[in-house]
């Protein structure tokens, strides 16, 4: 019994992760010092990613940037802001004109000592899938040597999708328009698929747990013998009104999924 429980625990974690989707935007091979570097103490930049490029709705939980030139700098202070907008190009070149309404989704030190994709774990940002996404990046460095570089792509259209400025002050800089824009990977979590965990109940049976979801009228619990990223392949086990479900099956280890039922959805 213990062996089966251990396997279920491991698969449960994988099942939860499978509900998140990665959206890759940009395939360019250029490299520039934006959005995070330290050739100057302060870096400010902003990029628009269009709704049809993203193609998903949900909570943005991670952003990845591809570092093509590493450095040994370990004290690069980074901030990322997110904002939903309707315009497809910039109509302002001032940082302070863009920042109102933007949410701070990341603040911390980051080390670009290795090349490859670097992941920034965000405070969840809900993206509705219809507006465009404005990402604003700010960084500060206490020295200006060994600059990292980030992979970029040049826009195929004349649309201005990126503004940036490196300087010695943080006071509302003018941002310079560019046609290049950073390649990016967005991790988007389906808001109707809560993140699940597992505990053992008093009968030593695995109990699936998840946080309650606002406005949910119930939850469907699904299982599968194989992992599935889409809708097909999941078998409905039960429908419950509150978080928490004890799995009493005797099958081999399974993958589990929990999905919310909203007011306009029939169980």
**Angle, CA of 26, 32 and 34, to the nearest 5°:** 85
| Single residue among 189, 209, 244 that ends a domain in this structure | 189
Greatest mean pLDDT among 132-136, 150-154, 248-252: 132-136
Establish if 266 belongs to a structural domain: no
Q: Are residues 8 and 42 in the same domain?
A: no
Task: Name the residue range of residue 202's domain.
Answer: 2-18+191-261
Q: Are residues 102 and 120 in the same domain?
A: yes
Of 215, 225, 223, 226, the closest CA to residue 264 belongs to 215
**Higher-pLDDT residue of 247, 254:** 247
| Single residue among 168, 189, 210 that ends a domain in this structure | 189
Of 224, 263, 253, 260, the closest CA to residue 239 belongs to 260
Express each pLDDT in 28-84 by its tens digit: 787 776 677 666 677 788 888 999 999 988 889 999 998 888 776 556 888 999 999
**Higher-pLDDT residue of 2, 245:** 245
Establish if 199 belongs to a structural domain: yes
Q: What local confidence, expressed as pLDDT, does residue 173 receive?
A: 62
- How many beta carbons lie within 10 A of that of residue 85, not counting itself? 14
Phi, psi of 6 (to 5 degrees): -60, -40
Establish if 113 belongs to a structural domain: yes
Q: What local confidence, expressed as pLDDT, does residue 81 receive?
A: 95
Q: What local confidence, expressed as pLDDT, does residue 172 receive?
A: 62
Q: CA separation (Å) from 147 to 175, 226, 260?
A: 20, 45, 46
CATH of the domain at 241: 2.60.40.10
Establish if 95 belongs to a structural domain: yes
Q: What local confidence, expressed as pLDDT, does residue 260 receive?
A: 80
Establish if 267 belongs to a structural domain: no
d(CA 38, CA 66): 16
Q: Are residues 87 and 182 in the same domain?
A: yes
Average pLDDT, the chain: 75
Q: Going by C-beta distance under 8 Å and a sequence separation of 6 or more, which residues neighbour residue 204?
A: 1, 5
Q: What local confidence, expressed as pLDDT, does residue 64 receive?
A: 94
Q: What is the 3-state secondary structure (H, E, C) of the chain?
A: CHHHHHHHHHHHHHHHHHCEEEEEECCCCEEECCCCCCCCCEEEEEEEECHHHHCCCEEEEEEEEEEEECCCCCCEEEEEEEEEECCCCCCCCEHHHHCCCCEEEEEEEECCCCCEEEEEEEEEEEECCCCEEEEEEEEECCCCCCCCEEEEEECCCCCCCEEEEEECCCCCCECEEECEEECEEEEEECCCCCCEEEEECCCCCEEEEECCCCCCCEEEEEEECCCCCCCCCCEEEEEECCCCEECCCCCCCCEEEEEEECCCCCC
Q: Are residues 11 and 143 in the same domain?
A: no
**Terminal alpha carbon distance of the chain:** 33
Structure tokens at 172: 């509302």
Q: What local confidence, expressed as pLDDT, does residue 54 receive?
A: 93
Q: Are residues 41 and 165 in the same domain?
A: yes
CA 47 distance to own-chain centroid: 16
Establish if 40 belongs to a structural domain: yes
- Tokens 């560019």 belong to residue: 178
**pTM of the predicted structure, to 2 decimals:** 0.67
| Single residue among 173, 189, 205 that ends a domain in this structure | 189
When divided into structural domains, the chain yields a total of 2
Q: Are residues 172 and 210 in the same domain?
A: no
Q: Are residues 30 and 152 in the same domain?
A: yes
Residue pair 23/185 in contact (Cβ under 8 Å)? The answer is yes
CATH of the domain at 163: 2.60.120
Q: Are residues 177 and 229 in the same domain?
A: no
d(CA 239, CA 222): 9
Q: Are residues 60 and 13 in the same domain?
A: no
Of 77, 146, 133, 72, the closest CA to residue 106 belongs to 77
**Higher-pLDDT residue of 118, 154:** 118
Q: Are residues 174 and 243 in the same domain?
A: no
Structure tokens at 202: 């008093």
Express each pLDDT in 163-221 by its tens digit: 666 555 566 666 666 677 888 999 998 776 667 777 777 777 778 888 777 777 888 88
pLDDT band with cut points at 50, 70 and 90 for residue 236:
confident
């Amino acid at each position: 019994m213990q062996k089966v429980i251990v396997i279920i625990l491991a698969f449960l974690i994988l099942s939860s992760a499978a509900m998140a989707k990665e959206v890759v935007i940009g395939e360019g091979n250029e490299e520039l010092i934006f959005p995070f570097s330290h050739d100057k103490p302060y870096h400010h930049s902003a990029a628009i990613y269009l709704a049809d490029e993203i193609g998903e709705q949900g909570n943005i939980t991670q952003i990845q940037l591809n570092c093509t030139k590493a450095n040994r700098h370990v004290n690069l202070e980074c901030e990322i802001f997110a904002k939903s907008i309707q315009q497809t190009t910039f109509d302002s070149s001032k940082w302070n004109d863009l920042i109102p309404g933007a949410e701070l989704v990341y603040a911390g030190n980051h080390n670009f000592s290795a090349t490859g994709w670097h992941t920034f774990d965000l405070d969840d940002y809900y993206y509705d899938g219809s507006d465009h996404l404005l990402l604003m990046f700010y960084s500060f460095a206490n020295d200006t040597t060994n600059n990292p570089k980030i992979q970029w792509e040049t826009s195929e259209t004349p649309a201005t999708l990126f503004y940036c400025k490196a300087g010695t002050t943080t006071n509302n800089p003018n941002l310079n328009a560019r046609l290049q824009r950073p390649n990016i990977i967005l991790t988007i979590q389906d808001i109707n698929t809560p993140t699940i965990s597992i505990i053992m109940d008093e009968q030593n049976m695995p109990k699936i747990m998840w946080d309650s979801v606002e406005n949910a009228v119930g939850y469907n619990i699904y299982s599968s013998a194989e992992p599935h990223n889409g809708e097909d392949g999941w078998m409905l086990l039960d429908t419950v009104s509150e978080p928490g479900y004890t799995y009493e099956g005797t099958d081999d280890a399974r993958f589990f999924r929990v999905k919310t039922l909203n007011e306009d959805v029939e169980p």
